[in-house]
Amino acid sequence: DTSVVEKNTRILKTVDQELSTMVKETLQSHGIKCVHGHEAKSAVTRIRGGAGAGTDNETILTVETDQGEKVQAEMVLVSVGARPSSDMFPGDKTSYGAIVINKKCE
């Protein structure tokens, strides 16, 4: 199972609502659970398996959100946002580095 725990009220908050909804629906159509408005508060690691050489151990992570929801995982990816890498392009840029364009996308 795959889950996305999102602090904001929707995923991809920096894009318009329509695209955000489309991405969420695509994720859900692939069986990905989306949890919105929750912030990861803590993570607990537990190793399950036999003791001794040659045994396969499985690492289980449990992430608890600020609202008490627990999400189990084998792996956690933490992302704190995106910032464009636009230094190589000339022209006006916004305060966070996005390239300013006109209505014709020029």
Q: How buried is 93 (Cβ within 10 angstroms: 0-12 exposed, 13-18 middle, 19+ buried)? A: middle
**46 belongs to a structural domain:** yes
Average pLDDT of the chain to the nearest whole number: 83
Residue 95 pLDDT > 70: yes
**79 belongs to a structural domain:** no
Is this structure's pTM higher than 0.85?
no
Q: How far apart are CA 86 and CA 101, in angstroms?
A: 13
How much is the average pLDDT of 14-38? 92
**pLDDT tens by residue, 11-25:** 888 888 999 999 999
**What is the number of structural domains in the chain?**
1
Q: For residue 5, count other CB atoms closer than 10 A to its CB.
A: 19
Question: In this structure, what token pair is assigned to residue 57?
Answer: 């151990």
**pLDDT tens by residue, 48-88:** 665 555 556 677 788 888 998 898 887 777 777 777 778 88
**Any residues with CB less than 8 A from the CB of 83 and at least 6 apart, and which?**
96, 97
Structural domain containing residue 54: 2-73
Residue 45 pLDDT > 70: yes
Q: Residue 60 belongs to a domain with what CATH number?
A: 3.50.50.60
**24 belongs to a structural domain:** yes
